[in-house]
Amino acid sequence: MKISGAKLDKQSANFVASPNTSGEFSEDLPDTIVIHYTAGSSAESSVRTLTNSKVKASAHMVIGRDGAVTQLIPFNTIAWHAGESAWGDRRGLNKYSIGIELDNAGRLTKSGEQYISWFGRSYPEQEVIKAVHRNEEKLSYWHRFSEQQITKTYEICELLIDTYDIKSILGHEEISPGRKSDPGPAFPLDKLRERLLHSDRSDQGDNEMAGVDNPAVVTASMLNIRSGPNGGTQTIAQPLKNGTVVDIKDEKEGWYRVDVKMSGWVSKNFIKKAT
Ligand SMILES: [Zn+2]
């Protein structure tokens, strides 16, 4: 897979142009990737929607359940995927980010033995994950992403990181909490970030800052971790427990931005190793 002229090569992706853009990014941007699910019935229907000028929405790419990629907007051009959104001191993430949409039905409702999407299609149990969303407290049912989609998302993010100066990979749910719940807990967002932006990259010698460089420890019994440097922003995970080791990455107005490293044992049945 290659990018030239802000487009994926023809062997790797179809290009179907969307008119829903607001021109080129400013200098040094994009520096962020935002991951979404389509909450749609197929990749084809999502491509149709996101290229329709009457629909004020678009994204740079749609990844189908078979891993096929359709690019709608060149990577140097602003797409309309984030809507009202905030991260740190930024507002309106479209002008900072590349948007990737994964074909997925989203949250499902259980009805007898079936799991039903908002548009009425039913999904069998093996396509369903039961999990608590990072912004919520109760269990919900979520449509699984296919392995091909997850693998393709890794590959594309890696390529984008190598091509542009990508510093963050975020979920729509993190920049528009309350309003949006995509990509949701069925998508391994934390693992993707950890692998592509942190530890593994250091093996390639392009990141001297491997591992924890500014270790610190949580002294409160429970410490909220938030999307921005003030108490009015959303919490983005379960509170950190006393004694949790964190890595200080930035400081602002009485707040630290920290990475949290964690190590523990998990069942192999629920882990997929990246390629
Ligand atoms: Zn979204």
Per-residue pLDDT of the chain (275 residues; tens, 9 = 90+): 999 999 999 999 999 999 999 999 999 999 999 999 999 999 999 999 999 999 999 999 999 999 999 999 999 999 999 999 999 999 999 999 999 999 999 999 999 989 999 999 999 999 999 999 999 999 999 999 999 999 999 999 999 999 998 999 999 999 999 999 999 999 999 999 999 997 544 444 443 334 566 778 877 777 889 888 888 888 888 888 877 778 888 888 888 998 886 667 777 777 777 65
Q: Could you say which of 177, 202, 227 is where a domain stops?
A: 202
Do residues 62 and 162 both lie within one domain? yes
pLDDT computed for residue 199 by the predictor: 54
Interatomic CA distance for residues 49 and 37, integer angstroms? 14
Which two three-digit tokens encode residue 111? 């009805």
Do residues 145 and 243 both lie within one domain? no
The tally of domains found in the chain comes to: 2
pLDDT computed for residue 205 by the predictor: 42
Which two three-digit tokens encode residue 246? 């964190």
pLDDT computed for residue 275 by the predictor: 52
Do residues 91 and 164 both lie within one domain? yes
CB 173 within 8 A of CB 136: no
Half-sphere exposure of 67 (CA within 13 A, CB side): 12
Interatomic CA distance for residues 274 and 209, integer angstroms? 22
Q: What is the residue whose two structure tokens read 């809507």?
A: 83
Measuring CA to CA, how many Å separate 92 from each of 1, 80, 87, 89? 30, 10, 9, 10
Residue 131: what residue type? A
Do residues 174 and 266 both lie within one domain? no
CB 62 within 8 A of CB 195: no
Do residues 56 and 128 both lie within one domain? yes
Going from the Cα of 240 to the center of ligand 1, the distance in angstroms, rounded, reads 27
pLDDT computed for residue 209 by the predictor: 38
Going from the Cα of 172 to the center of ligand 1, the distance in angstroms, rounded, reads 5
Element (H, E) at 3: strand 3-4
Going from the Cα of 181 to the center of ligand 1, the distance in angstroms, rounded, reads 8
In a domain, 15, yes or no: yes
Do residues 135 and 167 both lie within one domain? yes
Do residues 176 and 73 both lie within one domain? yes
Going from the Cα of 185 to the center of ligand 1, the distance in angstroms, rounded, reads 14
Going from the Cα of 2 to the center of ligand 1, the distance in angstroms, rounded, reads 25
Do residues 81 and 192 both lie within one domain? yes
Going from the Cα of 25 to the center of ligand 1, the distance in angstroms, rounded, reads 20
In a domain, 210, yes or no: no
Going from the Cα of 203 to the center of ligand 1, the distance in angstroms, rounded, reads 32
Do residues 76 and 182 both lie within one domain? yes
Interatomic CA distance for residues 175 and 10, integer angstroms? 32
pLDDT computed for residue 20 by the predictor: 98
Going from the Cα of 246 to the center of ligand 1, the distance in angstroms, rounded, reads 29
pTM above 0.85, yes or no: no
Q: What is the residue whose two structure tokens read 């962020």?
A: 32
Do residues 235 and 150 both lie within one domain? no
CA angle centred on 240, ends 171 and 216, rounded to 5° = 105
Give me the domain span that covers residue 55.
3-202
Interatomic CA distance for residues 186 and 162, integer angstroms? 26
CB 3 within 8 A of CB 163: yes
If DSSP codes are grouped into helix, strand and coil, which group holds residue 124?
coil
CATH code of the domain in which 131 resides? 3.40.80.10
Do residues 105 and 59 both lie within one domain? yes
CATH code of the domain in which 245 resides? 2.30.30
Q: How many helices (H) and strands (E) does the chain have?
A: 5, 22
- Whether the link from the prior residue into 229 is cis, omega within 30° of 0, is no
| Phi, psi for residue 184 in degrees, rounded to 5 | 75, 175
The Cβ of residue 229 has, within 10 Å, a number of other Cβ atoms equal to 16
In a domain, 121, yes or no: yes
